[in-house]
Every structure is written in structure tokens, then in C-alpha cells.
Structure 1
């Protein structure tokens, strides 16, 4: 049996001043776009 392996490498801004690292709408769109390629 073959088990497919997929890796997504991302680059996002680190958290600042104890606040979480959040994606911008454009970054979220790109993330989902690239995830579609992985499917």
C-alpha cells in the first residue's frame, strides 16, 4: 500500500508583544489556494 505524503511550508510573521500571529486575508487566501494543490 502506498501512503501519500504532502508537506506545506509557510512563511508567516512571528507573534508580537504576546499577541498571536494572525494571517492577513491575502495570506489566508494563498494558504487555501496552495492547500488545494496539495489535495
Structure 2
């Protein structure tokens, strides 16, 4: 609900935050997959 209000008031900022979250998630997934391959 709070996030929706922020998104409604400032879509650019929320888009930037979502972009950063997706980037960090992809980095974590890459590291995790490498870790699984090494085991």
C-alpha cells in the first residue's frame, strides 16, 4: 500500500528502485548457480 502511494507520486523513482532490485536479484542468482555447480 505504501509502495503503491510512492509509485503513484513518483513513478521514475519507483522504476529506478525496481530496476536496482531486479539487478541485485540477477547477481544473486548468478552467484548461487555458480555455487551449486561447484558442489
TM-score of the superposed pair, with normalisation by structure 1: 0.42
Higher relative contact order (CA 8 A, sep 6+): 1
**Higher-helix-fraction structure:** 2
TM-score of the superposed pair, with normalisation by structure 2: 0.42
